[in-house]
Amino acid sequence: MRIGYPCLNRSLPCTAGSTFRLKSFSRERLEASVAANLACLEAILDYNLARGFLYFRISSDLVPFASHPVCDVDWHQTFNADFRAIGRRMRVGGMRIAMHPDQFTLLNSPTPDIRKRSVAELDYHAQVLDAMELASDAKIQIHIGGVYGQRSEALARFIEGYQGLSEPVRRRLVIENDDRQYCLREALDLHARCGVPVLFDVLHDQILPSGFSISEALRRTEATWARKDGLPLMDYSQQRTGGRVGAHAEHLRPAPFRRFLDDSQGFDFDLMLEIKDKERSAALALKCAHNDPRLIVKRHLLHDATQ
């Protein structure tokens, strides 16, 4: 088990996903942003490796507007050496990496143009992970998409879209149960029909319940991951008290987290903590898990991680 947090580090004075307005797009502007984002990503990786956070989600804004028609810049080529160096550091450090395109990426939209733009966006995400020369355990996670008034047709369109994806995308794509439209059962059904691995999101499953216990959900999702996919990925969050249903908590509450660690014994996975305070909760989670036999971390780092 590795533990991590998504995209942003609040302790460092930089972000690895800084962007700009579309109307100020230029080659110079793009290259300046990518250079700054890659430098910050390196700083975050150093920070994470020093503290034992071995799972990280890279911001989709690493290369702003990469899949937009306005972007004719060959960033892949220009920053090739930087991507390779960062990827090497990730591999040497034993880090697990994922990306999560946002809600505009919809493989199952009835609108062909939206599907086409979504495929372009997925191609971009795969290009980033490929440029880092990461193995097929570096994943791209998306939700199944919209319902459009016809669940069965929407699911069929997802399968069609999935099967039409390029190999570089398909080897990395996984689907996540969401909290509004498609619960874990439907994600598992999709796996049975097209083979896409299923990423289990604990909070979403509480809001839109599959009815499975934690261990039953883990048993079923684990079976959707092949050896080449690596350890199953999981999203863990907690409901913000007094917030909208599904709103992520500001800080990790240790008691429910410890209960989750107990409930999930016997299963191994890499765990993404979607908590607003980011690395602070990741540190607390490491502390909660410090006696857990599943945890992959250099033990001498545990002390630092809790300071």
Partner DNA sequence: CCTGGTCAAGTCTCG
Partner DNA sequence: CGAGACTTGACCAGG
Instruction: State the residues that interact with DNA by CB under 7 A.
Output: 6, 8, 15, 18-24, 60, 64-68, 102-106, 109-111, 114, 117, 121, 145-149, 154, 180-181, 244, 246-248, 274, 276
Residue 179 vs 222, nearer CB to DNA: 179
> Quick one: which H or E segment has residue 302?
helix 302-305
Find the shortest distance in angstroms from Cβ 187 to DNA: 16
| Backbone Cα Rg of the chain | 19
Torsion over CA: 218, 221, 227, 232 (sign): negative
Find the shortest distance in angstroms from Cβ 227 to DNA: 31
Task: Read off φ and ψ for residue 136, nearest 5 degrees.
Answer: -75, 5
Find the shortest distance in angstroms from Cβ 109 to DNA: 3
Residue 6 vs 230, nearer CB to DNA: 6
CA distance 93 to 53: 10
Alpha-carbon dihedral of residues 53, 59, 62, 63, nearest 10 degrees? 150
Instruction: Measure CA 149 to chain center.
Output: 28
Find the shortest distance in angstroms from Cβ 239 to DNA: 10
Find the shortest distance in angstroms from Cβ 260 to DNA: 19
Residue 70 vs 223, nearer CB to DNA: 70
User: Do residues 133 and 179 touch, judged by C-beta distance below 8 A?
Assistant: no
